[in-house]
Structure 1
């Protein structure tokens, strides 16, 4: 069982992004030596930096056995923890798995090397729709190979809503229903909290217009008396235990929550919906830092992870939507047809990925979030 899902870590990442918090050290994996021991000339080494709990560890063993390359594997908890490590360059990682908006920032600051796709023939297994999705932050697809992706939506407890006599939610505006007072869990992550309000208004979740942000702020202040709590990790236990009727949720947490709920005596029926007004989608990708000392080994790693049987093995462990079409075909029909986990991209109307907006915009968002919390 996973201790902490990558989706919840992603929420923490965006919380820290908005607050402008940066830390200067990575977290070692514990069972493999630290990447800080990196030195040039070790041709059979590969220094990997990834989110915690974001790979089936047997995949690392498989890679080592097949290639003879020794993996030195470190983990990070947020993009904001990872970014200054790569920027400083003192620890030279060969391959890293950031999120979309951080990849955008890394490209802007010349921190990434172009991938030689002659060494990544399994790129053909990544669906063209996900390659196109990555163009949002990597316009020429030079730097990033998709690994996992997902959406932001509403998780709801059907039994609890039936008891309250409230219809099942279909849109973000349903989280402003006075009948749900004390039953709503909102992300304690300002970019996503603001996203819900901005989408109701028909605005971009990446707006930097002070007037549009002020409207969203006022909506969140209006909603606040209805909110039971602003949460990150706690959303899982609260929904599994029936402590709230509705919650903002990353799709990546869905299968875990549903499985844990089924194991409870209460057995709540928990469902997920992508709101009609549009939402955010995210995609994490493998990239190679510009100062990587084992670039070809990094490309072998990326190619290995793009192999359908390996991508399927990872999906079974981390339960985040895979962009790998070969792996997708290996899934059971019930998973392939699960539109909460694998929504039709064409149906994600008015949806966007989170962009890195720069420090000035982040400061503006952060100030307005403080005003929401202060009221």
Structure 2
């Protein structure tokens, strides 16, 4: 009887010790990492290579907007160990105390990131974020279907585009277009200006066939739409399949963005998150990401490894970069953007 009791106590102690280990484990006690990222943004093979090398099981979830990502991270029941956020949402997450500090000593491959991509206004000391990818938002025109010159967002109001445009399903991107066309800042906090931008987009709405951020390329390749406002990589991928497509850098306004890795507050597998970030920042790994998803890359060592045609494809002209504008946190005005956007899409 004493022996049986002793065995029971020993088993109980082992179970308690396992529960207090500080790391969440999956089926069979395997270590896990829960990642939340944009759709169409990380090749499956990269995840599989990381799993094979480390033995860490990656549970991978995707979202289609910063707003969706933010909503999931602020539910009070955080289930992610690593996420990817644009700079202006990193600023919000930091202000609200929703991110863990990142131990840079655990990410030695951050040395491969170019200096110009570090020390952003959102995270000046790089305490909470690590650059992942960056890029632009451009107009794409199918020159087989559109015979007139398009040089600006205003040109997309032309009746020839009726029910034949695809635009980003993103409130800050599209209201930013309306604001800049009207001569305001794309980061305006003025309600009257944001509302006016919404009214301008309503003029464009009869020409909008699709709101889409994740898979614009398929609609462009097929010729379902005559033109689009899309992320640069979607434009590049579409042009590979349909050479009639042409990128236009709009006269009024050129939007740039940068996405960074962040670790949500209370992440259960922080060490695994750091291992994953460091793995991604290996030049040969980061190169493979760009080969599949041709966004611009802040990893300068990875860019050196790219074929010349891919380097040319992801290169944004210097004169365009110089006039590029990043979205910033607009504070309480975020609610106005959300309201105006919801009204537009109804």
Whether TM-score is above 0.5 comes out as yes
Is the contact between residue 199 and residue 279 of structure 1 (CA under 8 Å) also seen in structure 2?
no
Cross-structure match for 2:281 = 306
1:157 lines up with 2:142 in the alignment: yes
Relative distance call for 1:177 and 1:117 in structure 2 (3 A) is same
CA distance in 2 between partners of 1:176 and 1:303 (Å): 45
Structure 2: give runs of 5+ residues left out of the alignment.
1-18
Cross-structure match for 2:58 = 72
Compare CA radii of gyration and give the structure with the larger one. 2
Cross-structure match for 1:354 = 327
Cross-structure match for 1:126 = 113
Cross-structure match for 1:40 = 22
Relative distance call for 1:170 and 1:366 in structure 2 (3 A) is same
SS in 1 for 2:131: strand
Please, what is the CA RMSD of the aligned residues? 2.9
CA distance in 2 between partners of 1:64 and 1:367 (Å): 42
Relative distance call for 1:84 and 1:200 in structure 2 (3 A) is closer
Say which of 184, 188, 191 aligns to 2:172: 191
| Pairwise CA distance, 1:123 | 0.7
Is the contact between residue 144 and residue 287 of structure 1 (CA under 8 Å) also seen in structure 2?
yes
| Pairwise CA distance, 1:182 | 4.7
| Pairwise CA distance, 1:190 | 3.4
| Pairwise CA distance, 1:288 | 1.8
Cross-structure match for 1:286 = 261
Is the contact between residue 38 and residue 91 of structure 1 (CA under 8 Å) also seen in structure 2?
no
Relative distance call for 1:87 and 1:241 in structure 2 (3 A) is closer
SS in 2 for 1:247: strand
Structure 2 length-normalised TM: 0.80
Per-residue Cα deviation, 1:146-165 (whole angstroms, up to 9, x for no partner): 11122111001122223xxx
Cross-structure match for 2:89 = 102
Relative distance call for 1:38 and 1:343 in structure 2 (3 A) is farther
Is the contact between residue 206 and residue 355 of structure 1 (CA under 8 Å) also seen in structure 2?
yes
Say which of 301, 307, 310 aligns to 1:335: 310
CA distance in 1 between partners of 2:335 and 2:298 (Å): 34
Cross-structure match for 1:55 = 42
CA distance in 2 between partners of 1:345 and 1:207 (Å): 26
SS in 2 for 1:97: strand
Cross-structure match for 1:33 = none
Structure 1: give runs of 5+ residues left out of the alignment.
1-36, 262-267
Cross-structure match for 1:273 = 248
Say which of 200, 213, 220 aligns to 1:219: 200
Equivalent pairs counted in the alignment come to 321
Say which of 320, 328, 336 aligns to 2:295: 320
SS in 1 for 2:181: helix
SS in 2 for 1:143: coil
SS in 2 for 1:76: strand
Is the contact between residue 38 and residue 47 of structure 1 (CA under 8 Å) also seen in structure 2?
no
Relative distance call for 1:364 and 1:294 in structure 2 (3 A) is closer
SS in 1 for 2:325: coil
CA distance in 1 between partners of 2:344 and 2:70 (Å): 28
Is the contact between residue 312 and residue 328 of structure 1 (CA under 8 Å) also seen in structure 2?
yes
Cross-structure match for 1:138 = 123
Say which of 259, 265, 269 aligns to 2:240: 259
| Pairwise CA distance, 1:362 | 3.5
Structure 1 length-normalised TM: 0.75
Is the contact between residue 33 and residue 272 of structure 2 (CA under 8 Å) also seen in structure 1?
no
- Greater Cα offset, 345-354 or 153-162: 345-354
Cross-structure match for 1:365 = 337
After the TM superposition, which residues 79-94 of structure 1 pair with which residues of structure 2 at under 5 Å, given as runs? Answer: 79-88=66-75, 90-94=77-81
Is the contact between residue 94 and residue 289 of structure 1 (CA under 8 Å) also seen in structure 2?
yes
Relative distance call for 1:80 and 1:45 in structure 2 (3 A) is farther
CA distance in 1 between partners of 2:135 and 2:286 (Å): 16
Say which of 195, 211, 230 aligns to 1:231: 211
